[in-house]
Amino acid sequence: MFKKVLIANRGEIAVRVIRTLRELGVPSVAVYSEADRSSLHVRLADEAVCIGPAMAKESYLVIPAIIAAAKVTGADAIHPGYGFLSENADFSAACRDNDIAFIGPSPKSIQQLGHKSEARKMAVKAGVPVTPGTKDCVSVKEAAAAAAKIGFPIMIKAAAGGGGKGIRIVREAGQLANEMNMASSEAKAAFGNGEVYFEKYIELPRHIEVQFARDMHGNVIAFPERDCSIQRRHQKLVEETPSPAVDKKLRAKLEKAAVDLAEAANYVGVGTVEFLLTQEGEFYFMEVNTRLQVEHPVTECVTGFDLVREQLLAASGEKLTYTGGHTVPLLGHSIEHRINAEDFSRNFAPSVGRIEEWLVPGGPGIRVDTHVYAGYNLPVYYDSMLAKLIIWAPTREQAVERSRRALAEFVVTGVKTTIDAHQLIVGSDAFRAGKTDTGFMERLLAPAEPVKAA
């Protein structure tokens, strides 16, 4: 195991990693921007190093500053968390070139699977079903012909993307040029890469993903699927495992597809394969996230695994905790609610300020992952997520009721949050029945039809 690990991230994921390191007896190093001096991850780490000004491009995205912090503190490994540099092949290579272990896949695996278009090619070779789309990235000149060949509606996607950025739905040819330019510009700003490709747009699918882990010894595990269909503007709000739409037979097919891709890429570490599941029960490969996902706690709750620990084991050359096969037992049901600093009553407008009251729910089957505390001043420069409320119960019905109870107990004052939105979600008949898809939030928030006069 490593002697000391630097966490190249902030917020709740940095806190999450520090806690596993502490259980393993491994010292931790936090890095922070000037805006994050009072953040909880700075307080909890064994050491902390300021790496720059508030803006991420001047701190959390500066590879030389992070490498220097690792060298100064004697860290022999870096955990990238999620977001920021977590799927950056150059960062993985910089760690390797400086004799620092990158707790994630190799630069080659990131390039192969992190680039969406290249990942599609690998999925085809591995025999994993993919949606109809372009074989390579598409230029402006090629756009019209490529879209006509696939057929509208199409989805424009950022090749180096993630987090819902660089995605546009185009339903007719007249919209194509403008939407493509917007997608490319957004992708360039977010990821430094404006390349895009096209996929056939599937109406109202479920968003299903399979977590996997693989070590240097060839041991690979595929964990039970997560359903991430409840989204707003391609941003996930609620995740659960297992999916209400997946039976044992389909689960086996999804897990095999994830294992086949991990093997094909000679992947080492933890990753996630994302799929679209049609209303008819057919699934298609979408992309691979070569990092830990925000929603990883629901998988931990139904399997008993610590996925950060599995990352550390894989990266240090040790075997995974479980080497008895490609799948693990499913224990109960788990739901995750992302609690953001957004004003639900004002179309999810950002909310900033000082946290006055911070009272989190408790009791059986409740976990809260957060970096927030009473008196904490929210920086305006980063993601709006305050906490993840994770619920576990023996059945889905019990998990839904436990969610209702926990959300009612969650008290935050000083800023607006999305707690009310989550209460609306779990109280809806469609959610309780497990009848969700990627259009769920649009329908839930649609204004009621006016009553016509007799």
Active site residues: 291
CA distances (Å), 354 to each of 38, 178, 395, 413, in order? Answer: 12, 40, 37, 9
| Per-residue DSSP letter, 35 | G
The single-letter DSSP state of residue 245 is T
Q: Which helix (H) or strand (E) holds 337?
A: strand 333-340
Q: Which two tokens stand for residue 351?
A: 């909310």
Query: What is the length of the chain?
Result: 454
Local structure of residue 113 (DSSP, 8 states): I
Would you tell me the crossing angle of helices 248-264 and 116-125 to the nearest 10 degrees? 110
Residues whose CB falls within 8 Å of the CB of residue 338, separated by 6 or more in sequence, listed in order? 236, 237, 238, 294, 385, 388, 418
**φ, ψ for residue 252, nearest 5 deg:** -60, -40
φ, ψ of residue 317 to 5 degrees: the values are 90, 5
CB atoms within 10 A of CB 132: 13
Angle, to 10 degrees, between the axis of helix 396-409 and the axis of helix 419-427?
150
Give residue 14's identity as a one-letter amino acid code. A
Does residue 53 have a cis bond before it (omega within 30 degrees)?
Answer: no
Residue 211 DSSP symbol: E
How far is the C-alpha of 108 from the C-alpha of 263, rounded, in Å? 14
Residue 402 near residue 356 (C-beta atoms within 8 A): no
In Å, how far from its chain's centre is CA 444? 23
φ and ψ of 357, to 5 deg: -105, 140
Cα 395 from Cα 410, distance rounded (Å): 22
